[in-house]
Amino acid sequence: MAKNKSKAPKNSSQHPMEDFLRMDRMPHIWCPGCGLGTNLTAFTEAIKKAGIDFDKVAVVSGIGCTARVAGYVKVDSYHTTHGRAIPFATGIKLANRDLTTVVISGDGDLFAIGGNHLIHAARRNIDLTVICVNNFIYGMTGGQTAPTTPLKAYSSTAPFKNYEPPFNLVSLVTSSGATYVARWTSLHIRRMTDSIVEAVNNKGFSFIEIVSPCPTVFARKNKKGSGLDLLDHFGKRSVIDHSANPNDIPMDLENPIVCGVFVNKPKPSFWENVQTGIHGEVKKHRDYEKSLSQE
Ligand SMILES: Cc1ncc(C[n+]2csc(CCOP(=O)(O)OP(=O)(O)O)c2C)c(N)n1
Ligand code: SF4
Ligand SMILES: [Mg+2]
């Protein structure tokens, strides 16, 4: 792929990320201490590191605080409707196969309203990278319970605690067929960056969960302190174990947050399968027609 056209800052007053952000959209809406700025930095660093031209990247988001990323990156980007980032991205990828297509969205967007699209894109091994920022809650809309809210956590819709077990995101996407699956926290900046490089290079469905602090809603409702306190908490609780079975590493409030790359097993993507299949079938059909004309 072509090298990206990133340059060093032109002068000392230029922000180091100016080449990759829509500066006319600044200041952003994210709260102080939110993990989203760090996660976005890791993403842009990863694209630079992968040597991918930013003109060859498409970013697609649904709706939510995380989904605002689509409005801030200076690439072709689409801020779609709630839960619909994956079908939108699938269309982009199938029509423009040289575009590195990345979905960046929240846990609620991708696993609640968008859950069906997600599991089927994984099953089909569509060549997408999906980065899910898991802050355990619907951040943008005021902290309602999400499918990721830990058991016995508080939310604005669970004032007496949540009694629904959460999804284990890495287990769900692995069993659905994803060919690259990783989990990191916003504290693991370098590992997260390297993982995004691997994910965009995988020619199939790649999924990265980023466990990320939401100080304004999740931490406040659960008395977890500031964004920095949450990062400290993630740092103390996380362990890296690439050999962990995704089914055995649920996310809850007490146990270790097991991070790592759990799946990296490329297999033919949906497009490759269709191409191979259609070429074979067309040849069979032509051979058959030829045989008829020779009778
Ligand atoms: C069809 C529809 N239903 C509900 C909403 C309201 N809504 C907007 S964002 C959101 C939740 C976002 O949560 P998440 O994806 O976890 O993102 P976060 O804000 O936490 O980053 C909801 C329910 C909407 N915009 N459209
Ligand atoms: S509400 Fe939470 S997720 Fe949204 S910007 Fe604020 S801290 Fe971040
Ligand atoms: Mg969320």
Report the CATH number at residue 112: 3.40.50.970
Instruction: Name the nearest CA neighbour of 66 among 138, 122, 149, 153.
Output: 138
Low-confidence ranges of the chain (pLDDT < 50): 1-8
The answer to whether residues 167 and 128 touch, using CB atoms and an 8 Å cutoff, is no
- In this prediction, residue 1 carries a pLDDT of 36
In the chain, how many domains are there? 2
C-alpha dihedral, 160 to 165 to 167 to 171, nearest 10°? 150
Residue 17 maps to a domain: no
Residue 127 maps to a domain: yes
Query: Which ligand 1 atom is nearest residue 67's CA?
Result: 21
Pairing of strands 129-134, 100-106: parallel
Shared domain check, 172 and 54: yes
Exposed (0-12), middle (13-18) or buried (19+): which is 122, by Cβ within 10 Å? buried
Shared domain check, 248 and 153: yes
Shared domain check, 275 and 154: no
Residue 241 maps to a domain: yes
Residue 18 maps to a domain: no
Cα of 289 vs centre of ligand 1, distance in Å, is 54
Query: Which ligand 2 atom is nearest residue 29's CA?
Result: 5
Instruction: Give buried/exposed letters for 41-63 (b at 16+ CB in 10 A, else e).
Output: bbbbbbbbebebbbebbbbbbbb
Pocket of ligand 2 (CB under 6 A): 30-31, 34, 36, 65, 135, 139-140, 214-217
Residue 6 maps to a domain: no
**CA 104, chain centre distance (Å):** 5
DSSP string, 30-73: PPTT-SHHHHHHHHHHHHHHTT--GGGEEEEE-SSTGGGHHHHB
Extended strands (E) in the chain: 57-61, 76-79, 100-106, 129-134, 180-185, 206-211, 238-240, 257-264
Shared domain check, 44 and 144: yes
Shared domain check, 188 and 47: yes
- In this prediction, residue 2 carries a pLDDT of 38
The two tokens of residue 74 are 């200076």
Shared domain check, 123 and 181: yes
Residue 252 maps to a domain: yes
Predicted model pTM: 0.94
Choose the residue to mutate in 39, 105, 135 for probing ligand 2, maximizing ligand atoms within 8 Å of C-beta: 135
Shared domain check, 139 and 123: yes
Shared domain check, 157 and 51: yes
Tell me which residues have their CB within 5 A of the ion that is ligand 3: 106-108, 135, 139
- In this prediction, residue 65 carries a pLDDT of 98
* Domain span holding position 34: 23-264
Cα of 63 vs centre of ligand 1, distance in Å, is 5
- In this prediction, residue 254 carries a pLDDT of 84
Query: Which ligand 1 atom is nearest residue 63's CA?
Result: 9
Hey, whose CA ends up nearest to atom 1 of ligand 1? 82
The two tokens of residue 216 are 């304004």
Query: Which ligand 2 atom is nearest residue 212's CA?
Result: 3
Find the distance separating the first CA and the last CA of the chain, reported in whole Å. Answer: 50
- In this prediction, residue 128 carries a pLDDT of 98
